[in-house]
Chains A and B, each alone.
Chain A
Amino acid sequence: MIPEIGQFALVMAVIVSALCATLPLVGTFRNDRQMVAMAPNLAAAQCLFAAIAFFTLMAAHVTSDFSVLNVVQNSHTDKPMLYKIAGVWGNHEGSLILWVMVLSIFGLAIALSRTIDPVFKARVLSVQAFIALGFFLFSFLTSNPFIRVNPMPLNGNGLNPVLQDPGLAFHPPFLYLGYVGFSVAFSFAVAGLIQGKVDGIWARHMYPWVLTAWSLLTIGIALGSWWAYYELGWGGFWFWDPVENVSVLPWLAGTALLHSVKVVEKRGALKHWTVLLSILAFGMSLTGTFLVRSGLTSSVHSFANDPERGLFILAFLILAVGGALLLYGIRASRFELGKPFHPVSREGGLVLNNFLLFVATFIVFVGTLYPMILDGLTGQKISVGPPYYEATAVPVALLVMLAMVAGPLMPWTLKARMGRILKFLAPAAVIALLAFIANWWLAPKPTLVGTLGLALAVWVGVGTLLYGWRVYRLQDGAGVMARLKRIPRSSYGLILAHGGVGVITIGITMSGAWQSDFEGKMDIGDTAEVGAYSFHLDNVEETVQGPNYEARRATFTVTKGGSLVKVMTPETRFYTAPPTQTTEADIRTGPLGDLYAVVGEPSPGGGYAIRLYYKPLVSWIWGGAIIMALGGAIAMSGRRKLPVVSTAQAHTSAQPAGAAE
């Protein structure tokens, strides 16, 4: 019975989102207050039904209801509870329900906003509901999670053990919150085009949503990278794999958007570009969703090898993005011209930022899609690996870092006195130069790109601190605390977000150039030296029993200068449902560096294949991402109080309706 409730909720969600996509929008043109006022209620109802569908599916997974096909295919009674819950979104059908539920939650949040003009809100919610309608239909028609099986099997197939991991429990929800968050920017852009007016107020209302989506996506990508680092057992954290790239595409476009919205808000310039970028950012989210579900990529992420599903999303992608661009072509000429600015000004700096981020998006897009397109057209199989990105995306990233320190120091509109700015930043340049020289001379494995990257990371870090110092000195007030309190939250946000970039890059470059490793055969009793650490292989147990697996476990005693650091126990696990083998690296994480141990197969002549690494500062990569997202959150917290303002041309006095439960 319970799965039928989910089925019913899904059908209701289709109907409600169809109503919400049409009625309020029509109402805004006919000046019909009642129809306009329906929008928040319909958005709330849609969210309710999406939540019912989602939690019904979760109930089926938690209670191991094997009459539901989705549970049979992805769950097993032996599976720990956390993974029964996380398993809901560890598969195509379930993750899609999560996707639309997140989309509906964003709709509800817009509906609850008291500051957005009701007419404009109705238009935004209609666009939002149109996107939801597409995905509810997709779920219902091609990927229904509530399909029953008869006769009911005794047990399920289980979840891919690689995915049975705490990282999985949180990576997709964050990623979806980010992906789907850009739908709000898309809806704002389309609603702005419908009303033929995009201005500072429009930008001001959109900015917090972009900031939210960007912060959550940053966390989502970092979690994915962290998962790859500790679960795949190769010590790497980024592989330029298509599924990783598609999460970076909306992030790059979204980062550009985050900066260009500011220009619209402050100066009314770059309207056209910002609207296009909003469409692009969400278009990239849809592209990612499409690629991962089309079967065009092969990895743990490609749950659905069903071309029909891919075609549905592709058609929807073309309809949504194409429709928005068409609307842009028709309506954008109505936008008023923004204020002119000098090329070497804050606006000019932000244009450069947008330009570079756009180029980076293009580079990753080409590298990710070209092999798939070539395969589709000619059948020729190729792969585009790290060397391509190192030759293209990395130099662009270095240019971004070079420029991002000076940008915040430039004045709006007027010509910046670059000489003075560079003089102010001289200490950062000197320290960066010292870092360059030190790394080049002292690092065990320096590369030119890595050393440049490290120097620029230091430049960004110190330069951002200098910027913070300047902002602090500009405040008046008695005492340090009073001054710190007066610094706007948005400045704190900027300092943390830019500083986070420096921290991440230090992590990437230092862990690369200063890594020590051992890869080879070890017998029991052997000792391997990795950097300052000695790894002594004490023992290897062949069959250690886990809750739903058997493991080969190696025990290392790790010492540094004769004193014990840690006993490390990496494992190789053999799961039975489904039959799979995973590598469980043992990692000792520290602020200064990680120790990383992996046990592999027994060698034919005795001993085991062992990989050991010491990776200095590698955890800074994820720490930096958290700092960036924290910056986003702090900038958000300063924006709570927006005045109630009208952004629409047509004024109606419709009351902002409270959300219906």
Chain B
Amino acid sequence: MTPKYKRLTIILGGLVILAGAVGLTLSALNDNIVFFYGPTELAEMHVTPDRSIRVGGLVEPGSVEHQGDGRTIHFTITDGKNTIPVVYTGLLPDLFREGQGVVAQGRVSGGEFQATEILAKHDENYMPPEVADALKKSGEWRPETGKMP
């Protein structure tokens, strides 16, 4: 083998492995992305996705109910048009408040959203951009209330 041919073989071999790595990466990406939906989007879907998703909106005032064990909580996420009931067991982020923006990750099961994670916010005025977007889509976006992203 001439040095040049050898070099070519190494480069080609590298490219084949690289193509494999790219393929595996994309398939991992496909399996692990988490889609985000607003309550209205979720309501308009005919088939609820059988995978982990994120939903976001505002915590409906008056909907928060703590269960006896002190760790399980029921509440409703709303975008003003539609709502999703959510159940979550675990500690809530500090800035979880009624009337404030929230993002929950989990699965839809039996008409209820079983959240595995409630995402934290940075400060009182912060609105997750996904939530702002979902509110805009449902026509319930009111920046004058001070809830700007």
Bound CA–CA A607/B71 (angstroms): 12
Cross-interface CB contact of B70 among A160, A388, A521, A579, cutoff 8 Å = A521
Interface string of B119-149 (1 = CB under 8 A from A): 0101111001110010000000000000001
B129 close to A611 (CB less than 8 A):
no
A385 close to B32 (CB less than 8 A):
yes
Interface string of B1-42 (1 = CB under 8 A from A): 001001100100010011001101110110111111000000
Interface string of B84-96 (1 = CB under 8 A from A): 0000001110111
Bound CA–CA A384/B29 (angstroms): 7
Nearest-Cβ distance from residue A193 to partner chain B, whole angstroms = 21
Bound CA–CA A651/B14 (angstroms): 40
Nearest-Cβ distance from residue A641 to partner chain B, whole angstroms = 35
Closest to B68 in A: A605
Nearest-Cβ distance from residue A348 to partner chain B, whole angstroms = 8
Bound CA–CA A566/B14 (angstroms): 55
A580 close to B66 (CB less than 8 A):
no
Nearest-Cβ distance from residue B106 to partner chain A, whole angstroms = 13
A391 close to B34 (CB less than 8 A):
no
A298 close to B129 (CB less than 8 A):
yes
Main secondary structure of the interface of A (DSSP, over half): mixed
A605 close to B66 (CB less than 8 A):
yes
Bound CA–CA A379/B38 (angstroms): 13
Is A274 among interface residues, defined by CB-CB distance under 8 A?
A: no
Q: Which A residues are CB-close (under 8 A) to B133?
A: 379, 381
Is B107 among interface residues, defined by CB-CB distance under 8 A?
A: no
Bound CA–CA A372/B110 (angstroms): 32
Bound CA–CA A578/B71 (angstroms): 31
Cross-interface CB contact of A392 among B25, B35, B120, cutoff 8 Å = B25
Cross-interface CB contact of A580 among B14, B18, B25, B124, cutoff 8 Å = B124
Cross-interface CB contact of A382 among B22, B24, B33, cutoff 8 Å = B33
A388 close to B33 (CB less than 8 A):
yes
**B interface vs A, CB < 8 Å?**
3, 6-7, 10, 14, 17-18, 21-22, 24-26, 28-29, 31-36, 54, 66, 68, 70-71, 90-92, 94-96, 120, 122-125, 128-130, 133, 149
**A interface vs B, CB < 8 Å?**
160, 162, 232, 234, 298-300, 305, 340, 343, 351, 355, 358-359, 362-363, 366-367, 370-371, 379-385, 387-388, 391-392, 396, 519-521, 572, 578-581, 583, 600-601, 603-605, 607, 609, 611
What would be 14 A-B contacts, judged by CB atoms less than 8 Å apart?
A234-B120, A298-B149, A299-B122, A340-B7, A366-B29, A382-B33, A383-B36, A384-B29, A388-B31, A391-B28, A392-B28, A396-B21, A579-B125, A605-B70
